[in-house]
Amino acid sequence: MNNSNLISIIVPCFNASYYVKDVLESIQNQTYKNIECIIINDGSTDDTLEIINTFSDERFHIYSQENKGLSDTRNFGLEKAIGDFILFCDSDDLLPLNAIESLLSSYTGREDIIVGKTATYTWEKKENISVLPHPKEKQVLDNKNSEALIKNITEGLSPIAQNKLYRNSFLKENNLKFLSGIYHEDELWFFETMFKAENVTFIPEITYLYTVDNAHSITKKNSDKNLLGYLSVIKTIFNKYYLQYPEKGVIAYYISYLKKIIIGNYKHHSNYSTDALREMEKTFQEVNPAFNDNINLKRIEKTYFKFLNHVSLKDHQSIKKEYFNNPVNSLRKHFKILIFKLFSSK
């Protein structure tokens, strides 16, 4: 491992007084010392800024601004970062002591992104609960054919922006920034970074503790804003990538994969307003990609995502009724897929 690489850790903070001291201590105590920590107080109304200011570590750079939201705050951090690599850390999560060392030890000079395993963590009990979806063994992807996006479609990887070491020059060369003012900005960031990256490595070590008992987290809610955020993501992918890269077959399937997440949330967990559901119907009909088979997916998976997109073009009540989660785990689902294949082939 080359200790000359500077790692910029970006920590957006909003009303994080209950967590932020422990979070910053977990960064300060990293076994890898060549870091800068860019801490942005995003208009907190509690004691967050006062706690941040107790840290005198010269590697910590503290900024304060009026509340702008997570995307703009992360983008501000990217503007300030001078490191060779970028790591995002939320103000209610923790880094294991050797997190940076473990991530950086896999760098060979080729990787655009190095991804660690994320453990879900309960703050109250101070213990790990489980791990977010991640390859069991180390995997090195030559990503020119979008293998990372295909892996997400088939295995459901964690799309969080945190716990990934991004080569700063890769982000700058591709002008990669977070979309402002929406929920689920990480879903779009994951797509864009994994679409642009040429080399991605997944390591098996746990390098991030993701707090799951923060009641204020947006992942605890399923409001209209969550739905509208996802709809903004698929519209952006459709307009910015699908229409500009028609030869990239993975994009259509990825849009259908995100529709799957949206519809699954709608069917099982939500109570959206009529206006939000109308916007969902409108967006699904506008974001209607054509599919080709130039992608490394099983035949049944290709058929399923085409079927899912077909279902998404209907009214919201029909969408909820006809949606099913997995393509091949019951005779009823096999029958639905078969009927779809027979009619769509005519």
Three state DSSP letters for 44-112 = CCCCHHHHHCCCCCCCEEEEEECCCCHHHHHHHHHHHCCCCEEEECCCCCECCCCHHHHHHCCCCCCCC
User: In terms of Cα–Cα distance, which of 315, 312, 307 is closest to 336?
Assistant: 307
Mean pLDDT within 204-231: 83
The residues near 15 (Cβ < 8 Å, ≥ 6 apart) are 44, 45, 46, 48, 216
Helices (H), the chain: 20-28, 48-52, 70-80, 99-104, 147-155, 168-173, 185-196, 224-237, 250-269, 274-286, 299-312, 316-322, 331-344
pLDDT digits (tens, 9 = 90+) for 45-79: 999 999 999 999 999 999 999 999 999 999 999 99
> Cα–Cα distance between 153 and 89 in angstroms, integer?
25
Q: In the numeric block, which tokens belong to residue 235? A: 């519209």
Q: Tokens 């009619």 belong to which residue?
A: 343
Tokens 């939320």 sit on residue: 90
Give the per-residue pLDDT at 222: 64
CA-closest candidate to residue 100, choices 57, 157, 158, 164 = 164
Distance, CA of 313 to CA of 124 (rounded, Å): 44
35 with 10: CB under 8 angstroms?
Answer: no
d(CA 84, CA 275): 45
Long-range pairs of 316-322 with CB within 8 A, sequence gap ≥ 24: 316/266, 316/277, 316/280, 316/281, 319/263, 319/266, 319/281, 319/284, 320/263, 320/266, 320/267
Question: pLDDT tier at 345 (50, 70, 90 boundaries)?
Answer: low
Q: Is 202 helix (H, G, I), strand (E, B) or coil?
A: strand
Task: Decide which of 336 and 222 is more confident.
Answer: 336
Please report the pLDDT score of residue 335 as a whole number. 72
Domain residue limits, the chain = 7-218, 221-344
Nearest to 109 by CA among 54, 45, 33, 169: 169
Please report, rounded to a whole number, the percentage of residues in the chain having pLDDT higher than 70: 96
CA-based torsion, 290, 294, 138, 24: positive or negative: negative
d(CA 109, CA 31): 21
| DSSP one-letter string for 4-25 | T--EEEEEEESS-TTTHHHHHH
Return the minimum-mean-pLDDT range out of 84-93, 174-183, 215-224: 215-224
Contact 328, 334 (CB under 8 A): yes
- Judge contact between 40 and 64, C-beta under 8 A: yes
122 or 345, greater pLDDT? 122
Residue 346 confidence (pLDDT) above 80:
no
pLDDT at residue 315 tops 80: yes
Fold of 7-218: Spore Coat Polysaccharide Biosynthesis Protein SpsA; Chain A (3.90.550)
Summary mean pLDDT of the chain: 93
pLDDT at 290 over 80: yes
Would you say residue 130 has pLDDT above 80? yes
Residue carrying structure tokens 């009909």: 285
